[in-house]
Structure 1
Amino acid sequence: MKRSPEPSPLEAIRSRLAACLAGSNFEGALWLVGGCVRDPLLGRPEPPDVDVAVLGSALEAAQAMWEKGLAKYPPVQYPRFGTARIEVEGVTIEFASTRAESYSEDSRKPEVRPATLEEDARRRDFTVNALYRDVFSGELVDPTGAGLADLKARVLRTPTDPELTFSDDPLRMLRAIRFRWSLVFEPASGLYEAIVASAPRLQIISGERIQEELLKMLAIPAASLCIEDLRQTGLLGQFWSEFCALSGVEQGDYHHLDAWEHTLAVLDAADPGDPILRLAALFHDIAKPQTRTVEPDGRVRFLGHETVGAEMARAMLRRLKFSNEVVDAVSLLVRHHMRLAPGRTLSQPAARRLIRDIGDELERLLDLIEADRKGHKPGVAGVDVEEVRAAVERVARETPREKIVSPLDGEKIMQLTGLTEGPSVGRIKLYLEEAVIEGRLAPGDESAAEQMIPDALKWAQKEP
């Protein structure tokens, strides 16, 4: 006898929800909505989370799920917005009471009231996200009357006037651009015009929420399409206006693209599964407009753009509340993306300095340099990243990063020299560290380091 196919994870969750509340007041009142309805209809992978609209109290529905043992932990509840969240076998399920919303002009936080399924659909961002599937019967409904047709035609449309939709929640403008390119939909007539008109309202959205949407865009393989739309609609200028100055900046003989076009090419060449690398690709030339000069012979130069750019990246990332870990990593990569010159063999001392200075971000730096090379004019010589990678691996086996240090600590140096704590002690440590890097001193060789102290002391006492 032929076995029935295993249900999909989403179908299994729906069945468990239905079984849990069968015969209760919630039967017929729970509806899957959003991506967990849209994506299966498009033949896309099921989303990791599930949204459930509740005709009634979402708080009570989530509580009932927990009390009946479906969830291991009590629900997280947000009474003001009528929402609650539980986790079932690693899947986050968000319950929200069907509602209508009203907004003040200076706030993203709505006032809510209970509403019908039709009213709930009209307050959602796009028609294709306003399709509902009954948790119990599996029935599919389209309250706006346009969602299924738009899904079939691959059109992105708001359920009501787009300017009203975007005014209610300006983050929807970023979502519109992300959905356009992640789903490969065409914007409905007037949608992008409404974004242009409403762009300044993005100012009321927190940096954290913009960051979240931006990272989702950067995870799309052709993220440049999203970023270019952000620029053209005026949204990019609301939070990272510095990027707009890159457009039209000519770069000289090594480039066939202006600084903005080159940035987008490098972004797409970077791994979409690595958000830090993608951010570094986006920021790597951010300071070119400020540092551009033209030599008497016509050569275009951008001296120090990597150093200025690292500080700009740090400030701009903090503006959107990125973590210190991300800020530090991206800034480091931008600062060092010009570190390697094409056509030069990497010496052992240079490899050790690279290992010391870049540390755990070295692989990412090489990936960034490779992506940068792909954005140059065809035929222009670039860094041989594989050759550099092999040289670094050879050196790292002999002298890993933790060994590229002075064999003598500060206390030992003070004991040998009679110095008190101060800058000269630090300079002696640096002298010995450089000796390790240059191969004149073996890592950890304290005896040989002690013999170098007289020369190190003379060097340390010179004007720095």
Structure 2
Amino acid sequence: MTPMDARRYAVTPPTPDEITRASLNAIGPGEAGWLVGGCLRDELLGRRVRDVDIAVDGRPEPLARALADRFGGAVYATSDVFGTWRVIVGDLHIDVAVLRGGPPGDPPDARTRALRLEADLRARDVTVDALARPLDGHDIVDPLSGLSDLAAGRLRLCSPASLDDDPLRVLRLARLARVFELVPDAAATEAAFRAAPGLVRVSGERVRDELCSLLATRAASVALRDLAVWGALGVVLPEVDRLRGVGQNPYHHLDVFEHTLEALTYTAGVVGQLGGRRFLATPEETGLPGVEPLVPVSWAVLLHDIGKPAVRVVDDQGRVIFWHHDETGRQMCADIGRRFNLSNRFVEYVGTLVRQHLRLGFLTREQPLTRRALARYRRDVSPWVFESVVVSLCDRLATRGEKTSLASMARHYRLARTVWTEVSKIPAPQLLSGDDVMQVLGIEPGPAVGQALDALGEEIEAGEVTDADGARAFLLDWWGRGEERAEASDGQAPRGSRGASDTTDA
């Protein structure tokens, strides 16, 4: 998004109290429900609640649909096995699930309900999440002393088999430990090592959602490092795990993996320094709905250098070079997209940002900036101009460590702001359509049409062509030049699509 059309991710999610009241009004006759898990933990810690879990001893679907209608959210089933429905309101998730302690009674008595609730809580992963509060009461049910563990800063499993039962919990363990500054006990750490290989059996969609939850936090980098140590990262994101130990040229102070994690730590700060999250494309616009606004660009920062191991070479002078790692990384994003069942839109989004993450650095060589250079930049990264400068700045900040020149970094920030603000002022090239091009040049559909539109668009954006008559005249002149015509007929890539090494200061 640009400064001219920025808007906030506007939906205001309901509070847990509002959800509780709405649930009490919507729950079926004779049924009972409880707030369970992380939302209670977050409330006790005074943190913002991002996920609300509700357990019911009846059918979860009617309650989920009622909450979606009440708060204007989307609703869908997430698990036929566990009977779970999810409601998404803005960036808040409300999960409604049936108690896992057995089928509901007809109706169940108080003792049966208590036994089923305790069985449900004991089946969870960590004790600090094995908490429940009835929708119509205030007392917290805590069968495994989770409140004591929370007060002691301790992360303990509900049972020795907690992670083996569902290996996805290994990712949650890393996130919870780092976000809430809890220390896993020895049994939890041992279980993480043991269960990590089982992540290969977990669906890509579930892994994707948990990684999105991780990337929504400021603790993502340290949690990813934990996952690498436990052997989990190599299963779920081998492209990132392979960055470990990949050395770079002396310009860099870290290997590629540590550089990537450091870049990720800067993401929220860079977005804030450039004006705030309101300028980010919404998750829906990026093709990754239902996540926090910072998550999509965090994916791009995490993946920006994944192409490096595949193209790393050492030349005759001993210099480490990563030719075309940006394009290689873009292609790898498509593989990740298929594995996690990501939308084509999001694969295009993250692939574009990975492919173009060096472009801002290249513009430092084109001072003073021309309108033509800005137009080419806009064409190559559009519509993700703001996100492209965020990724570039995060990359740059994590390159040299203490050797970073403050003056150089200040220039990079000034360039980023200039590019972002000036690019938004350039009009979109819309003087002629593809049909118009074919009519003017007398050609059939094919690569030449796209090449002609690219060439015309650059002239329009540069201010050289301002009306339809001028556009037609330019096309005839351009087509009459043999070199460009041959290039278009051969279907070669447009200018500006060259690969890149890692020898720039970006």
Give the TM-score normalised by the residue count of structure 2: 0.74
Tell me which residue corresponds to 2:153.
Answer: 154
Structure 2 CA distance for aligned equivalents of residues 356 and 217 of structure 1: 32
Deviations 1:203-241 (CA, angstroms, capped at 9, x unpaired): 121100000000000011131011111111111111221
Please, which moves more after superposition, 90-99 or 364-373? 90-99
Letter in 2 for 1:308: T
Tell me which residue corresponds to 2:294.
Answer: 274
Q: Secondary structure at the match of 1:226?
A: helix
Structure 1 CA distance for aligned equivalents of residues 309 and 87 of structure 2: 49
- Relative to structure 1, the CA distance from residue 426 to residue 25 in structure 2 (aligned partners, 3 Å threshold; closer, same or farther) is closer
Tell me which residue corresponds to 1:197.
Answer: 194
Please state how far the C-alpha of 1:122 moved relative to its aligned partner. 1.7
Tell me which residue corresponds to 1:105.
Answer: none
Q: Secondary structure at the match of 2:34?
A: strand
Q: Is the 8 A contact 1:292 1:301 kept in 2?
A: yes
Q: Secondary structure at the match of 1:301?
A: strand
- Relative to structure 1, the CA distance from residue 393 to residue 62 in structure 2 (aligned partners, 3 Å threshold; closer, same or farther) is closer
Deviations 1:255-303 (CA, angstroms, capped at 9, x unpaired): 1111111000111111384222111111111111122222333322111
1:357 correspondence with 2:385: no
Q: Secondary structure at the match of 1:285?
A: coil
Please, which moves more after superposition, 227-236 or 118-127? 118-127
- Relative to structure 1, the CA distance from residue 255 to residue 176 in structure 2 (aligned partners, 3 Å threshold; closer, same or farther) is same
Structure 2 CA distance for aligned equivalents of residues 86 and 256 of structure 1: 44
- Relative to structure 1, the CA distance from residue 316 to residue 84 in structure 2 (aligned partners, 3 Å threshold; closer, same or farther) is closer
Higher Cα Rg: structure 1 or 2?
Answer: 1
Letter in 2 for 1:96: V
Structure 1 CA distance for aligned equivalents of residues 383 and 339 of structure 2: 25
Structure 2 CA distance for aligned equivalents of residues 281 and 407 of structure 1: 35
Letter in 2 for 1:446: D
Q: Secondary structure at the match of 1:49?
A: strand
Match of 1:40 among 30, 39, 43: 43
Match of 1:457 among 462, 467, 480: 480
Structure 2 CA distance for aligned equivalents of residues 360 and 257 of structure 1: 32
Q: Secondary structure at the match of 1:402?
A: coil
Letter in 2 for 1:127: T
Match of 1:264 among 256, 261, 268: 261
Please state how far the C-alpha of 1:422 moved relative to its aligned partner. 5.1
Query: In the TM superposition, what are the counterparts of 1:27-176 in structure 2 within 5 Å?
Result: 30-54=33-57, 57-58=58-59, 62=63, 81=82, 92=94, 94-99=96-101, 116-144=116-144, 146-161=145-160, 164-176=161-173
Letter in 2 for 1:369: S
Q: Secondary structure at the match of 2:379?
A: helix
Structure 2 CA distance for aligned equivalents of residues 60 and 297 of structure 1: 66
Q: Which residues of structure 2 form unaligned runs of 5+?
A: 1-13, 104-112, 269-291, 491-506
Please state how far the C-alpha of 1:358 moved relative to its aligned partner. 1.4
Tell me which residue corresponds to 1:347.
Answer: 370
Structure 2 CA distance for aligned equivalents of residues 243 and 317 of structure 1: 14
Letter in 2 for 1:357: D
- Relative to structure 1, the CA distance from residue 338 to residue 263 in structure 2 (aligned partners, 3 Å threshold; closer, same or farther) is same
1:367 correspondence with 2:390: yes
Aligned residues: CA RMSD? 3.8
Structure 1 CA distance for aligned equivalents of residues 455 and 88 of structure 2: 56
Q: Is the 8 A contact 2:38 2:129 kept in 1?
A: yes
Structure 2 CA distance for aligned equivalents of residues 320 and 76 of structure 1: 18
Please state how far the C-alpha of 1:436 moved relative to its aligned partner. 3.7
Letter in 1 for 2:122: R
Please state how far the C-alpha of 1:61 moved relative to its aligned partner. 9.2
Please state how far the C-alpha of 1:462 moved relative to its aligned partner. 3.8
1:253 correspondence with 2:276: no
Letter in 1 for 2:429: E
Structure 1 CA distance for aligned equivalents of residues 452 and 267 of structure 2: 41
Tell me which residue corresponds to 2:4.
Answer: none
Aligned residues: 429
Structure 1 CA distance for aligned equivalents of residues 146 and 132 of structure 2: 10
Structure 1 CA distance for aligned equivalents of residues 134 and 354 of structure 2: 50
Letter in 2 for 1:313: C
- Relative to structure 1, the CA distance from residue 462 to residue 116 in structure 2 (aligned partners, 3 Å threshold; closer, same or farther) is closer
Deviations 1:84-114 (CA, angstroms, capped at 9, x unpaired): 67899x994624225169xxxxxxxxxxx99
Tell me which residue corresponds to 1:286.
Answer: 306
- Relative to structure 1, the CA distance from residue 85 to residue 367 in structure 2 (aligned partners, 3 Å threshold; closer, same or farther) is closer
- Relative to structure 1, the CA distance from residue 221 to residue 183 in structure 2 (aligned partners, 3 Å threshold; closer, same or farther) is same
Match of 1:236 among 225, 233, 237: 233
Structure 2 CA distance for aligned equivalents of residues 72 and 295 of structure 1: 59
Q: Is the 8 A contact 2:456 2:471 kept in 1?
A: no
Q: Secondary structure at the match of 1:242?
A: helix
- Taking only the aligned residue pairs, the percentage that are identical comes to 32
Deviations 1:97-143 (CA, angstroms, capped at 9, x unpaired): 25169xxxxxxxxxxx9953332222111111112223334222221
Q: Which residues of structure 1 form unaligned runs of 5+?
A: 1-7, 102-112
Q: Secondary structure at the match of 1:376?
A: coil
Deviations 1:29-77 (CA, angstroms, capped at 9, x unpaired): 54332123222222223445241353xx3459959x97xx99999x988
- Relative to structure 1, the CA distance from residue 369 to residue 405 in structure 2 (aligned partners, 3 Å threshold; closer, same or farther) is farther
Tell me which residue corresponds to 2:422.
Answer: 394
1:178 correspondence with 2:178: no
Letter in 2 for 1:244: D
Match of 1:379 among 384, 389, 404: 404
